[in-house]
Amino acid sequence: MDRGHIGVLPRPTRLADESYLEFVTSFRKFAIQKGFPVMAANGEAALGKAIEKGEVSPPEDGDELELEEIKKVFAQVPFTPTWQRFVRSQQEMMWRGTRKSFMRNADKIMADMDAAEKSHPDNIHYDPAFEPPKYTRCEIHCQPGGYTDDPLGGAVFHYGTKIFYEGFNDQDELHIELAEKATKPVDGKVSRILDLGCSIGQSTTVLKDLFPEAEVWGLDVGLPLIRYAHMRAVQRGKDVHFKQALAEESGYPDAHFDMVHAYILFHEVPVKKMKEIVAEVFRILRPGGTFSIFEFPNNDKGQVPPGYRFMIDNDSRDNCEPYSPAFVASDFKGILEATGFAVEQGPAVSNEFLQSLVATKPD
């Protein structure tokens, strides 16, 4: 059942599964890389015609079109429902195929995670009595059991997101890039780093490689994810710590970290919790410490085109991303600044959809 790895990526338990999941990857590539631009272009063209005909009121300076108007026009474009079905179907196929395959190796995966805890108990931190709050237990991206409730969730997430990234992150390439672009404090002092919302630790271990003398932590609310992350780190000889906790209640001391790194965390939480997380990061960062953020865009000043707004809204309803529309509509940079951070544009990344920000805690 255990067919080994290709680099850092575990192989599905049967060749037939691997072949099927490669097909699903191709299907996803078609839906995202080919289908979305066509759907967005047709929808935006129809929107332009609707504005010309007076069926939709044009936005005034500084304002933006109402999302409901965008949805109404896009729904009338013939290709839109086809694209929506493609996106939903490939996601269902991805998780169904991945989980079915790795379930065949469930005993070994669970035994390997147990063995990693036994051999390196000081590097994993969780309270068995901890109960993740309801808002964290959504089945994000339709993953069965979400990030908190499936004991095999880490293994399923790992190969599932390999497909999600359309083959571009098979060897953690994106996580390596983002870790490399994390911004150091101006004084260059880095003794502790936190990877916030670390999932299976793909960036966490890279941060340790980049800062070998630093104490590196990954924090996530999903115990199945951090157990799998810890196992991966032990198997690869990476001396990093993983902790199950809420990002808004991390349990770390004041001014504890020099750097905090967060990748696509904030659109996965309600805006109220987002504000609490930003405040918590401000508390646990030392003066002069940096917070590197790679995240969904925000629709301040109409920066997000109608096609993307439609896609994000559809994603929230049909792909279990319930909090992303509110995040996209929020003034995220303003929230960071109101908390006390000095915020600057971060380094450009290869995924042009993402925004990159660096928030620094003033001395």
Q: Where are the domains of the chain?
A: 5-123, 171-360
Of 211, 101, 217, the closest CA to residue 159 belongs to: 101
Helix, strand, or coil (residue 112): helix
Residue 249 is given by DSSP the state B
For 85-133, the pLDDT digits (tens) are 999 999 999 999 999 999 999 999 999 999 999 999 999 999 999 999 9
Pick the CATH number of 171-360 from 1.10.10.350, 3.40.50.150, 3.10.520.10, 3.40.50.970: 3.40.50.150
Residue 129: partners with Cβ closer than 8 Å, 6 or more residues away? none
The residue written with tokens 């609707």 in the block is 50
For 222-260, the pLDDT digits (tens) are 999 999 999 999 999 999 999 999 999 999 999 999 999
How many Cα atoms within 13 Å fall on the side-chain side of residue 88? 12
Q: Report residue 65's pLDDT band, with 50, 70 and 90 as the boundaries.
A: confident
Length of the chain: 363
The residue written with tokens 């015609």 in the block is 49
Confidence (pLDDT) at 73: 97
Are 95 and 146 in contact by the 8 Å Cβ rule? The answer is no
Helix, strand, or coil (residue 286): strand
Are 361 and 289 in contact by the 8 Å Cβ rule? The answer is yes
Chain centre to alpha carbon of residue 361: 24
Mean model confidence pLDDT for the chain: 96
pLDDT at 36 over 60: yes
